[in-house]
């Protein structure tokens, strides 16, 4: 079972695009990746998820985040299923899918719930250093909202690159809109500096512990 901030385990995976070594395959390219698991091929909810993700895949790639799927199905099942999606729904799945046939990777990552043999709808967002930055779980009965996962990925990258925090539903927050939150001061001296920053117009503050600014 992995937690936030840990290094993604080094694993060799068999995918519909060939053999990859993770996280190296993506980190060597300077990319983040989003590993997501689905319970099974040829199932209705999973089919809707794959269709919806492919419709948004360019938006993930524009962020430098590459999607890669996983389930405990065999590779030929993945290939046949994506052929079915292309034939019946008119969408060509462009991202790789891992065939974790023995379930070892899924178990190491905690993707298989207690008492089950199939993976839950887990999402791991991993940065370009191979560090796990987000973990999200959905139950088998409910499909994921890829727009929210995309928002999460964008927020994580903005936070990492600018040293800021992001509010609820950013960039459409009800209080500060698309502005970003400056991390709270950690010392009395920092509070003084923050007040000076406010006087210079560099930040706006509701109080010394809640300051925000434009993202530049």
pLDDT per 10-residue tile (average), the chain, 216 residues:
92 97 97 97 98 98 97 97 98 98 92 85 97 95 97 97 96 98 94 93 95 94
Name the domain count of the chain: 2
Residue 22 lies in a domain: yes
Q: DSSP secondary structure string, 24-73?
A: HHHHTTT-EEEEEE-S-SS-HHHHHHHHHHHHHHHHHHHTTEEEEEEESS
pLDDT (0 to 100) of residue 2: 83
Residues 61 and 127 in one domain: yes
- The residue out of 96, 114, 144 marking a domain boundary is 144
- The residue out of 112, 144, 176 marking a domain boundary is 144
Calculate the alpha carbon distances from 47 to 90, 97, 195 in Å.
12, 13, 52
| Active-site pick, 46, 106, 111, 112 | 46
Nearest partner of 96 among 35, 29, 149, judged by Cα: 35
The whole-model pTM stands at 0.94
Q: What is the CATH number of the domain that holds 194?
A: 3.30.1020.10
pLDDT (0 to 100) of residue 216: 84
Residue 177 lies in a domain: yes
* 46 assigned to active site: yes
**Structural domain of residue 198, as residue ranges?**
163-216
pLDDT (0 to 100) of residue 67: 98
């Amino acid at each position: 079972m992995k937690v936030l901030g840990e290094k993604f385990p080094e694993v060799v995976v068999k995918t519909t695009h060939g053999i990859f070594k993770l996280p190296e395959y993506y980190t060597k390219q300077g990319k983040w990746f989003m590993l997501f698991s689905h319970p099974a091929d040829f199932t209705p909810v999973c089919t809707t998820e794959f269709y919806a993700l492919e419709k948004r895949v360019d938006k993930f790639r524009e962020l430098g985040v590459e999607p890669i799927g996983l389930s405990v199905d065999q590779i030929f099942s993945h290939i046949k299923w994506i052929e079915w999606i292309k034939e019946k729904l008119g969408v060509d799945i462009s991202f790789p899918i891992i065939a974790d046939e023995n379930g070892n990777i899924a178990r190491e990552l905690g993707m298989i719930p207690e008492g089950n043999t199939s993976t839950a709808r887990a999402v791991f967002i991993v940065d370009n250093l191979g560090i796990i930055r987000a973990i999200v779980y959905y139950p088998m009965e409910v499909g994921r909202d890829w727009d929210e996962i995309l928002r999460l990925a964008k927020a994580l990258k903005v936070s990492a690159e600018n040293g800021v925090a992001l509010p609820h539903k950013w960039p459409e927050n009800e209080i500060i809109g698309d502005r970003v939150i400056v991390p709270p001061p950690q010392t009395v001296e920092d509070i003084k500096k923050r007040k000076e920053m406010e006087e210079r117009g560099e930040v706006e503050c509701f109080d010394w512990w809640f300051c925000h600014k434009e993202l530049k």
